[in-house]
A and B are shown apart, each in its own frame.
Chain A
Amino acid sequence: MNIKKERKDNSLVVFFDGRLDAIGSPEAEAQLVPELTGITSLGLDFSKVDYVSSAGLRLLLYLDQIMEEQGEMYLTNVPEIVKEIFDVTGFLEYVKIV
């Protein structure tokens, strides 16, 4: 899991590269969570995400819970297959995809 971060003032855009699975998600979590202090807008770019497993969904849930308290979270460039995963798990209705 490669993660690129672009930070501008209080907004952070994260570019995931790889799979948000049982291995990639904890890596992503470890890299992201410490950076969230003071962030009011968190963007997650999925253009290079092959797939999201339930571990990845848990990460999204966790990030969403953090951002709920301090600002907003949105997803961009979500591939079809990932959208489908969000759909069957009910995430689609609750995450903001722009």
Chain B
Amino acid sequence: MNMNKDHHWKEPVHSLKKNFVTDQIFWENEVQANQLVLHSLVACLIVLGFFWVFALSGVFDIDRSLISMFFLPASVSLVIPAVVCNLVKGSKRWVKYVMMAAVIIAAAFIDRVMTFNVPLLIIIPVVLSCRYYSGAFTVLTAMATSVAFFVSSWIGALRVIGSPDMNFVAESSSEYLKNIMLQSFLPKWMLFLVVAGVCFEIARCGRNMVLNQDKITKFNTRVETELELANKIQSQALPPLGTLSEETNQRVELAARMIPAKEVGGDFYDFIELDENHLALMIADVADKGIAAALYMMMAKSVLENRLMTTPSPAQVLEKVNAQLFDKKLKGMFVTVWLGILDMRNGELVMASAGHEYPALKRNGSDSFELLRDKHGFVLGGLKSVKYTESKITLNEGDILFVYTDGVPEANNISQEQFGTDRMLRSLDSHCSGTMNDMILKVKEDVDVFADEAPQFDDTTMLAVKILKHGEVPEAKQQPDGAVLTHKHGEIPEAEQQTVIAKLTLKPELPEIERAQQWLLPLEAHENLSDKQCKKIAICVDEILNNIIQYSGAQTIELEFTPGPKDISVVIRDDGKPFNPLELDAPDTSIPLKQRKAGGLGVMITRKFMSRTDYSYENGRNIFAASLIREE
């Protein structure tokens, strides 16, 4: 990687692409500069008009015979380029040369006729030229101006034409020429060079400024694109509501929403069907906002989810995740979490809170929401070892539970007044008759109306659950193997923990393999498997999933992990077309690589690595089972 970067930096600066982009920027600038010069031409014309009037009316002491002779060509030389520039809208490369030449010629003409009145005239072209942010153009202008004024002075000194400078009158004409060139032109020209030098420097600085500006703009665009992408990933990391099973939807109504204050947020909600009867609900708020919070959120979320798969007790989950997050040694980062596991058979909700806001509860029949002051533990990731306590309530049919992050009660209006939990509860009261989704949207509306013009300061996340009815899943719908987590929450005897069966449902997409591997890690760690054994299982799962995803046409895949006393079993079920991988002919490994056909290797690796592999096809599903004997 580093090598690549170095290489990148050493790329020649003058590569074609770069030049093209730079040219583009400076071309835009040049068109603007042309506008400025055009306006200056017009301004010069107006001033010239005044001079003309003053000269004719005798305010200026100028030889009348010279007036039209010089003012007319000067005006023409200004008018023509002005008109031309206007016609092409300043968007031709040659426009700047034409206009600058016109300004120089006009200035030289005027200088000849108003020798004493206009000493500043000589610096006008070069001052204008620095607006083009090109050192070369400024130098060119300075040189052209020098030549033009030199010629103009010389002609004046020869007394060929124009008004002579009486300050330097001499006996002979050669003396006069010497006086004019040395005493009049030379000092003026030397001062002009100073101004030209300054203009050159301004042009160079302007050029660098434009380049830096461009760099910053590009950087901003990149950051914006990346944030947009991050936002997309983050919102996709939140579980979509449509994925809940039909049985769950019949028993609870769920709605949730996360509105980040910046592009990405540190809040999240989550709900996971642990099995057909248990629904885990979670809401969390990472301290701080923005990218750091979002990254921490993604980490906390996956750690929490993984732990939840193996540990069906909210307090234990929080304890273990706290230790894990603390170990990351990210000082000052922490997350508040409210976690509940709902038994949909009887409405029993076991919950634990790590410094999170109190949930709001509305009992069926009651008019109003009230805060549920459950026991609070310390935030996750702050202290090494924290104990959390669980509280248990029963949610009856029609009850609504609402959890949220501080973005709701702590929303500020312009006069720094907070929305507050009371307003939140009243808002909930007035909107709870509709669907849960409507309720959440209306609460957010109320918050927005209250906040008025004040910008959303914190991420705002809400999750609402309404109990529709209690009840078991009909027998026929239950998995043949029984519940995933076969324990009552919070009371798992140590010995029994050994036989927890964990199950994961996967979509038929390749990235899901990675998710399966991540899911396996804590399970394997829990079983004290050796690194080698973990890898063997990982390879086996990888190969089988890969086959199913790429060839079987399955819609869903289930992965089961069952640690037995003597061996570890992995079972993979899919609803794709029937296919027994074990019937595949093993490739002949004695054939040189070049002559081999691809395929069959994966299954062979699986068979050789695992102690036992079985295949069966039941109820429209392929069932592939593999087990690995524990090491002594």
Q: Does A33 contact B (CB under 8 A)?
A: no
For A88, give its contact among B550, B592, B609 (CB under 8 Å): B609
A85 CB to closest chain B CB (Å) equals 6
Contact present for A22 and B593 (CB under 8 Å): no
In Å, the complex CA distance between A17 and B531 comes to: 17
Contact present for A85 and B594 (CB under 8 Å): no
Looking across the interface, which residue of chain B has its beta carbon closest to that of A17?
B1
Q: Does B596 contact A (CB under 8 A)?
A: yes
Looking across the interface, which residue of chain A has its beta carbon closest to that of B589?
A90
Given contacts A2-B1, A88-B609, A22 and B510 within 8 Å (CB-CB): yes
Chain A neighbourhood of B290, CB < 8 A: none
Q: Which A66-96 residues have C-beta < 8 A from chain B?
A: 68, 80-81, 84-85, 88-91, 94-95
In Å, the complex CA distance between A47 and B22 comes to: 44
Contact present for A53 and B539 (CB under 8 Å): yes
Looking across the interface, which residue of chain A has its beta carbon closest to that of B550?
A22
For A4, give its contact among B2, B514, B605 (CB under 8 Å): B2
Contact present for A81 and B535 (CB under 8 Å): yes
For A22, give its contact among B513, B590, B605 (CB under 8 Å): B513
Interface bits B561-597 vs A (CB < 8 Å: 1, else 0)? 0000000000000000000000000011111111010
A88 CB to closest chain B CB (Å) equals 4
Q: Does B346 contact A (CB under 8 A)?
A: no
Contact present for A51 and B601 (CB under 8 Å): no
Q: Which of A23, A53, A58, A84 has the most CB of B within 10 A?
A: A53
Q: Which of A23, A61, A65, A81 has the most CB of B within 10 A?
A: A81
Chain B neighbourhood of A84, CB < 8 A: 609
Chain A neighbourhood of B14, CB < 8 A: none
Q: Does B602 contact A (CB under 8 A)?
A: yes
For A89, give its contact among B511, B532, B535, B601 (CB under 8 Å): B601
Chain B neighbourhood of A7, CB < 8 A: 3
Looking across the interface, which residue of chain B has its beta carbon closest to that of A54?
B602
Contact present for A21 and B3 (CB under 8 Å): no
Given contacts A54-B602, A81-B532, A88-B608, A65 and B538 within 8 Å (CB-CB): no
Given contacts A23-B511, A50-B535, A88-B609, A94 and B593 within 8 Å (CB-CB): yes
Q: Does B446 contact A (CB under 8 A)?
A: no
Chain B neighbourhood of A94, CB < 8 A: 592-593
In Å, the complex CA distance between A6 and B598 comes to: 30
Q: Does B543 contact A (CB under 8 A)?
A: yes
Contact present for B596 and A21 (CB under 8 Å): no
Q: Does B424 contact A (CB under 8 A)?
A: no
A91 CB to closest chain B CB (Å) equals 7
A39 CB to closest chain B CB (Å) equals 15
Q: Does B261 contact A (CB under 8 A)?
A: no
Chain B neighbourhood of A88, CB < 8 A: 589, 604-605, 608-609
Contact present for A53 and B543 (CB under 8 Å): yes
Chain B neighbourhood of A22, CB < 8 A: 510, 513, 542, 546, 549-550
Contact present for A54 and B594 (CB under 8 Å): no
Contact present for A65 and B602 (CB under 8 Å): no
Q: Does B4 contact A (CB under 8 A)?
A: yes
For A54, give its contact among B513, B536, B543, B593 (CB under 8 Å): B543
For A51, give its contact among B535, B592, B604, B608 (CB under 8 Å): B535
Contact present for B4 and A5 (CB under 8 Å): yes
In Å, the complex CA distance between A23 and B605 comes to: 18
Chain B neighbourhood of A64, CB < 8 A: 593-594
Chain B neighbourhood of A5, CB < 8 A: 3-4
Contact present for A53 and B604 (CB under 8 Å): no
A82 CB to closest chain B CB (Å) equals 9
Q: Does A57 contact B (CB under 8 A)?
A: yes
In Å, the complex CA distance between A90 and B592 comes to: 9
Chain B neighbourhood of A4, CB < 8 A: 1-3
Contact present for B532 and A80 (CB under 8 Å): yes
In Å, the complex CA distance between A68 and B436 comes to: 65
**Chain B residues with a Cβ under 8 A of chain A:** 1-4, 510-511, 513-514, 531-532, 535-536, 538-539, 542-543, 546, 549-550, 587-594, 596, 598, 601-602, 604-605, 608-609
A-B CB contact pairs (8 Å), 20 listed: A2-B1, A7-B3, A21-B546, A22-B542, A22-B549, A22-B550, A23-B511, A23-B513, A51-B539, A53-B542, A53-B543, A53-B602, A54-B546, A58-B598, A64-B594, A81-B532, A88-B608, A90-B587, A90-B588, A94-B592
9 cross-chain pairs, A with B, having the tightest CB-CB distances, nearest first: A90-B589, A54-B602, A88-B608, A54-B601, A94-B593, A22-B546, A53-B542, A81-B535, A51-B535
User: Knowing that A57-B601, A94-B592, A94-B593 are A-B contacts, what are 19 other residue pairs whose CB atoms are under 8 Å apart, sorted by A's residue number?
Assistant: A4-B1, A4-B3, A22-B510, A23-B511, A51-B535, A54-B601, A58-B598, A61-B598, A64-B594, A80-B532, A81-B532, A81-B536, A88-B604, A88-B608, A89-B587, A89-B601, A89-B604, A89-B605, A90-B589
**Chain A residues with a Cβ under 8 A of chain B:** 2-7, 21-23, 50-51, 53-55, 57-58, 61, 64-65, 68, 80-81, 84-85, 88-91, 94-95
